[in-house]
Amino acid sequence: MSKKLINDPDDLIAELIEGMVSAHPDHLTVEGETGRAIVARNGPRDGKVGIVVGGGSGHEPAFAGYVGKGLADAAPLGNIFASPSPAQIMDAGFAADGGAGVLFLYGNYTGDVMNFGMAEEAMAKQGVVARSFVTTDDVASAPRDKIDERRGIAGNFFVFKVAGAAADMGASLEAVEAAAKRANDATRTMGVALSACSMPQTGKANFEIPDGEMEIGMGIHGEPGIARVPAEAADAVTDRLLHPILGELALNPGDRVAVLVNGLGSTTLLELYLLHRRVAEVLKARQIDIHHSWVGEYCTSLEMGGASVSLMKLDDDLINWLEHPCDTPALRVGAEEAARGETTNRTQRTRKQVDRESKVSKHDLIATGTITPKVFRRMMAASAQAIFTQRDHLCELDGAVGDGDHGVTMEIGWKAALSALDQSADKATISELCNVMAQAFLDAVGASAGPLYATAFSTAGVAVSDRLNLDAAATVAWLAGMTEGIASRGGAAAGEKTMIDAWAPAVLDASRALEQGASVASCMMAAAEGAARGAEATIQMQSNRGRSKKLGSRSIGHRDPGAASAAIMIAAWAQALRDA
């Protein structure tokens, strides 16, 4: 068990935000109902493109550390290693909006893409033009011919800086987006991990690196890299990291670069300077000029040991954007000049409230079936408790193929869902309860599980919107709605090693049981058996979706955590029906 200087893990992000704002009151404030949008006091202004950077917490100083004049106008903070929710992103987006459009910048991760995309759609409905730009600097995460699939890691630093400068200098939304693309195209990163980090909720390492070994190409959430090799000295490690970067950037004598040597959380500056020493030595031998270097912690992974090296191949415009003044807690360039810059008027913008009041007439609903709203609530409570019990196990499964937070993420979602159910009307229908849980997951979770289960519960609720109670056929329709929602939002298909590999066989087996005249309880038991079989089958699958796709054949031999949690929930529903 790791030791951390924290209080209640459930209060971690709120206290992080409170600490940041109290430490930097001249730079930062908080706006919006979610309390998760950190906003620059001297950044957003009318007529300027709003810059919003964001992602999960645990990468400090990224992302909120780059909020300030001349860089980012706002940053929504997600849970540890999990994307912020659409509501949190919208709070940041409306705070940053100056009437010229808003650009969201974030790393290329499934959860971020889903949540920021949903925020874009919602803001468009309220008249705000928002666009997304995903960073893809991680050389290790996909081959060059699939560069759009690469992760965004420490090279975010350069892309954020360039986009923020272009916006501060008055560029249009299209021009700012083009500047971000130029920076991203010119940036490559490669990392190495020496030791694991641990989730604050569990205190356990979310992966293992044996003594005397290191992981090449490790992601910033602890995702495994492309190879595990014997540990090497600083120069040899630097050469390993530089080789693919130099190969892709095609640098020639006389070219100029910016260098970032980034620590992942527990690597000393002494070690980072040794890495930079070798970077400078290699570049000098190639007659490549270092225009400027940054050495330190700029995008971390909690307390993970290791480092990354990023190079950005420069041209005159990129140099001008890098040198443009900015003043943020984590980065100051020409800070005195930035502080003297003029700030024009800012119009406060907030999002409109959506009326979610149900207009359903209970008298028109079909009342046959043994799953009443009361029984349905008990089923949901049972699945929540099952997830709570299996939280650490799910995190361990996720640590083998991802970032180790799936159990924590599902726990957060179900805690929010239970709280929302407790506050819902006593006479709420099953469809209405589904909508309540959908919103709870979406607001609380972020990550990919938030949009996936929000869409699942919403779609399932629509499937039974004509029912007061569920009979066997309606129960199977509800399960099918859950599966349809997940598939439509995530785009996954059976066989790709995702939660769909549990949900699809669950619906198939439940449908077969229904055809044979099975009861509600028997249909749900068949679903549980199908989900368990499907989750087991993922062990032998190679991942073709999400973060674990980057592992290739290394994902074989590990159960998919999303499929495992789906099987746990469906089994709990079956047990609750047996006990009813």
Boundary-marking domain end, from 335, 352, 372: 335
pLDDT tens, 216-266?
998 888 777 788 999 999 999 999 999 999 999 999 999 999 999 999 999
Residues 290, 419, single domain; the answer is no
Residues 257, 372, single domain; the answer is no
pLDDT tens, 487-502?
999 998 999 999 999 9
> How confident is the model over 290-304, as a mean pLDDT?
97
- Number of domains composing the chain: 2
Please report whether residue 4 resides in a domain.
Answer: no
Residues 34, 137, single domain; the answer is yes
Please report whether residue 342 resides in a domain.
Answer: no
Please report whether residue 343 resides in a domain.
Answer: no
Please report whether residue 3 resides in a domain.
Answer: no
pLDDT tens, 138-162?
999 999 999 999 999 999 999 999 9
- How many other β-carbons are positioned within 10 Å of the β-carbon of residue 556? 15
Please report whether residue 349 resides in a domain.
Answer: no
Residues 106, 60, single domain; the answer is yes
Residues 303, 366, single domain; the answer is no
| Helix or strand (DSSP H, E) at 398 | helix 391-401
Please report whether residue 351 resides in a domain.
Answer: no
* Residue 539: C-alpha distances to residues 355, 494, 495, 536 (Å): 44, 14, 11, 6
Please report whether residue 269 resides in a domain.
Answer: yes
Residues 406, 314, single domain; the answer is no
* Residue 449: C-alpha distances to residues 12, 231, 414, 437 (Å): 20, 35, 11, 13
Q: Is there a catalytic annotation at residue 363?
A: no
Residue 260's DSSP bridge partners are: 294, 310
Residues 440, 475, single domain; the answer is yes
pLDDT tens, 355-413?
555 555 677 899 999 999 999 999 999 999 999 999 999 999 988 887 788 999 999 99
Residues 304, 446, single domain; the answer is no
Identified catalytic residue from 24, 27, 59, 221: 221
In the numeric block, the tokens 């890691």 are attached to: 153
Residues 410, 491, single domain; the answer is yes
DSSP letters along 171-229, please?
--HHHHHHHHHHHHHTEEEEEEEEE--B-TTT-SBSS---TTEEEET--TTS---SEEE
Closest CA to 222 of 266, 180, 271: 266
Q: Is the pLDDT of residue 319 over 70?
A: yes
Please report whether residue 206 resides in a domain.
Answer: yes
What is the span of the domain harbouring residue 20? 9-335
Q: Which residues contact 334 (CB under 8 A, 6 or more apart)?
A: 323, 324, 325, 326
pTM of the model: 0.87
Boundary-marking domain end, from 320, 335, 350: 335
Residues 318, 458, single domain; the answer is no
Residues 173, 52, single domain; the answer is yes
What's the confidence (pLDDT) of residue 401? 81
User: Residue 550: which pLDDT band, with cuts at 50, 70 and 90?
Assistant: low
Q: What is the CATH number of the domain that holds 98?
A: 3.40.50.10440
Take residue 263 and report the two structure tokens written for it. Answer: 């620590």
Residues 373, 328, single domain; the answer is no
Residue 275: is it exposed, middle or buried by C-beta count within 10 angstroms (0-12/13-18/19+)? Answer: buried
The residue with greater pLDDT, 9 or 352, is: 9
Q: What is the CATH number of the domain that holds 565?
A: 1.25.40.340
- How many other β-carbons are positioned within 10 Å of the β-carbon of residue 122? 18
